Amino acid sequence: MPLQIASLLKREATRLGFDFCGISKARFLEEEASRLERWLAQGMHGHMAYMANHYDKRLDPRKLVPGARSVISLMMNYYPGKSQKDPDAPRISRYAYGKDYHGVIREKLRALLEYLRKHAGSVEGRVFVDSAPVLERAWAARSGLGWMGKNTNLINPKTGSYFFLAELIIDTELPADGPMRDYCGSCTACIDACPTQAIQPYEVDGSKCISYFTIELKDALPGDMRGRFDNWAFGCDICQEVCPWNRFSKPHANEGLEANEALLDMTKNEWHEMTEDVFEKVFRDSPLQRTGFHGLKRNLKFLSGDKEN
C-alpha cells in the first residue's frame, strides 16, 4: 500500500507541473549539522541573521512537523528559455524573470497534500516553499533528485540546476528513495568563474556572494566589491551559466512562471532611469520586491560607479 501511494503521489506531482519528486525518511541530518555549524561559526551567512535561527529545526524535520515520518522533495523547472534583450542592461537572475514563485508553488503543494489525504486517509503535514528553516537541497539530494554540486546548487543530470525546490513533510511513512552519485568530477568551472571568489568546493561563502549583496544585504554595498558584480543588479546566475550540466536545461512550461516581457524589453537606460511608480507597476508581483525599489536603485548606482549607494 505505501508503495502504491508513493507511485500515485509522484504521478500527481508530475500532473501538477513538478518535474521531479522524491521521498526521504524524516530524521536528523547528522552530516549536515557539523557543516552548518562550521558555516555559521565562520560568518559565511553575513548579515542573514535568520540563518542562525531555529538551528535544531533546520536539522530535524520532526521539530517542524510533530510525528513527521517522510520528507517529500519536489523540483520545478524555472528556466525561461528567454533572455534580456539589451545585452548592456543590468542583469537579473533568471528565477526573477516572472512572478513571485512562492504563491504559484504553494498552491500546487497544497493540492498535492489534499490528493495525498484523499488516497492515503488521515495525513497530517505542512508544505514548505523556501519560507521556513528547511535544508531543501540536503533533502532533495537524499531523495535522489540530483546531487549537490560544487556551487552547492542541486544538479539533475537530465536538466541541470534551474529549479525551485519545495517540500511536503508528513506524518505518513512512505518508501524512501536513495541518493544519486556526484557527477561533478574534477570540474571547477563554477569556482573559477565566480567574480567574488565566493565558492570553494561544495561550499559558498554567502557573505561574498553577488546574490547576497544585491538581494539580502540592506546596508551600503562594500567598496572593495566595486567592479566585481559583472553587471548583476538582482541575484547572479554565473555559477549556473558555466555549469556544463546546464547545457541540458530546457524551457519550462509552468503556468504562472512565465517571463515578464516588460522586464526582458527594458534597456540599460530604462533600468537606470526607472522611477518608483514604474517599478511598482512593472514589478508588482515580482521577486524584485524582495529588495524593493530603493534597494534596486542602490544596486544600479553601484554598477554605474556611483559611490553613494
Catalytic center residues: 130
> How would you write the chain as a 3-class SS string?
CHHHHHHHHHHHHHHHCCCEEEEEECCCCHHHHHHHHHHHHCCCCCCCHHHHCCHHHHHCHHHCCCCCCEEEEEEEECCCCCCCCCCCCCEECHHHCCCCHHHHHHHHHHHHHHHHHHHHCCCCEEEECCCCCCCHHHHHHHCCCCEECCCCCEEECCCECCEEEEEEEECCCCCCCCCCCCCCCCCCHHHHHCCCCCEECCEECHHHCHHHHHHHCCCCCCHHHCCCCCCEEECCCHHHHCCHHHHHCCCCCCCCCCCCHHHHHCCHHHHHCCCHHHHHHHCCCCHHHHCHHHHHHHHHHHHCCCCCC
